[in-house]
């Protein structure tokens, strides 16, 4: 059998995962090509003069959200059968072009990933309502307790939580809010036939106007990019909060800064940003009613390694899942976690055609 070749991107944020994937594939006799180094704060765009060198022999290519898998990259890979992202996000992959060519796309949509993000999203909601850092500072700095009328903590009970998008993460957030006596509303361009967990479907403007907490749970595309705009923020209540554990490109950060300055909304919790890491001079850093984390609030130990004694028999992690997805594609089978399942028949035709040409 002709030796298979897998291209694996560099990722400054996932070096151990990428190395583990490379080592495990190489141990099985697969030729591994590693990509050029990524740089913090930039998306890696592969230079045209290196496309054939990097992708000309690739049967599978592994990309992350720090590198761009463009149409030009895909067209430079005539042997390509599949593209794999080790994590959930595929916004840097031209899935449309891949699908048109019968190239299957897999990702790391493992429960450990989306449940971790869901749990941490609930945490951020509570952080905004209770502000425990402010409370802890009273003890740490040996200050007197505030008077009754000066307390800042707010209960979750009775509030309205709005889900912009109702995919895996949003559904798991809603599931975890059962029993909290909250009102759950959602907007989704392709909602499920039946909304679970007592969630009520509403239009987007109604969600902005009535939610006490607006959570973002959509992918980035031409329709969603910058959707948290000046208009959207103007519709939100002055005592409402914004939570973003999805992608920074969903938010017009300049508009958000203005809304915070003008007290149009009560605050925000942001785990993702337009530029990552968040620049040191970002005006978002100066607000005491904004809770910022460096795109890792849901990065638990569980997504990187299977913990000993894990009670879930199907437990997995990023590197295990990526290797499994890659091997499935090399064997002519769709990956376990498939982004474009509609193209499976076309993918199988492509694999047969490529096999016949070897």
Say which residue the tokens 């609030």 belong to: 297
Q: Tell me the C-alpha distance between 40 and 44, whole Å.
A: 10
Q: Is 148 a catalytic residue?
A: no
Considering the candidates 171, 276, 299, 350, report the single residue annotated as catalytic. 276
Residues 6+ apart with CB under 8 A from 31: 3, 4, 5, 6, 57
Q: Which of 4, 247, 299, 350 is the catalytic position?
A: 247
Q: Do residues 336 and 324 lie in contact, with contact meaning Cβ atoms separated by under 8 Å?
A: yes
Q: Is there a catalytic annotation at residue 295?
A: yes
- 353 belongs to the catalytic site: no
Are β-strands 82-84 and 60-62 bridged in parallel, bridged antiparallel, or unpaired? parallel
Burial of 190 (0-12, 13-18, 19+ CB in 10 A): exposed
Determine which helix (DSSP H) or strand (DSSP E) holds 215, and give its type and residue range: strand 213-216
User: Kindly report the CA angle at 261 between 255 and 265, in degrees rounded to 5?
Assistant: 75
Choose the catalytic residue: 171, 295, 299, 350.
Answer: 295
Catalytically active residues are 247, 276, 295
């Amino acid at each position: 059998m002709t030796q298979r070749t897998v291209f694996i991107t560099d990722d400054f944020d996932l070096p151990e995962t990428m190395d583990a994937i490379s080592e495990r594939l190489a141990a099985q006799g697969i030729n591994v090509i590693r990509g050029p180094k990524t740089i913090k704060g930039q998306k890696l765009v592969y230079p045209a003069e290196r496309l054939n060198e990097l992708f000309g022999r690739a049967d599978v290519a592994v990309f992350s959200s720090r590198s761009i898998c463009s149409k030009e990259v895909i067209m430079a890979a005539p042997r390509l059968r599949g593209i794999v992202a080790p994590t959930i996000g595929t916004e840097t992959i031209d899935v449309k072009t891949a699908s048109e060519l019968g190239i299957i796309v897999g990702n790391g949509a493992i429960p450990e990933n989306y449940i971790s993000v869901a749990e941490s999203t609930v945490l951020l909601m509570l952080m905004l309502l209770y502000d425990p850092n402010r409370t802890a500072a009273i003890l740490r700095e040996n200050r007197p307790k505030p008077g009754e009328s000066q307390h800042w903590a707010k209960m979750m009970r009775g509030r309205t939580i709005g889900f912009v998008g109702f995919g895996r993460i949003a559904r798991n957030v809603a599931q975890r809010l059962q029993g909290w006596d909250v009102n759950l509303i959602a907007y989704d361009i392709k909602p499920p036939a039946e909304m679970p967990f007592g969630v009520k479907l509403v239009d987007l403007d109604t969600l902005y106007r009535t939610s006490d907490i607006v959570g973002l749970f959509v992918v980035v595309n031409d329709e969603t990019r910058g959707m948290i705009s000046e208009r959207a923020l103007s519709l939100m209540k002055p005592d409402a909060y914004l939570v973003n554990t999805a992608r920074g490109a969903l938010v017009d950060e300049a508009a958000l800064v203005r809304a915070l300055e003008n007290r149009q909304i009560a605050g925000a919790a942001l785990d993702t940003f337009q530029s990552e890491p968040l620049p040191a001079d970002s005006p978002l850093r100066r607000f005491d009613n904004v809770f910022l984390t460096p795109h890792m609030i849901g990065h638990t130990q569980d997504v990187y390694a299977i913990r000993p004694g894990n009670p879930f028999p199907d437990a997995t992690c990023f590197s295990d899942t990526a290797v499994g997805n890659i091997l499935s594609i090399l064997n002519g089978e769709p990956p376990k976690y498939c982004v474009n399942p509609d193209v499976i028949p076309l993918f199988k035709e492509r694999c047969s055609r490529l096999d016949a040409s070897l």
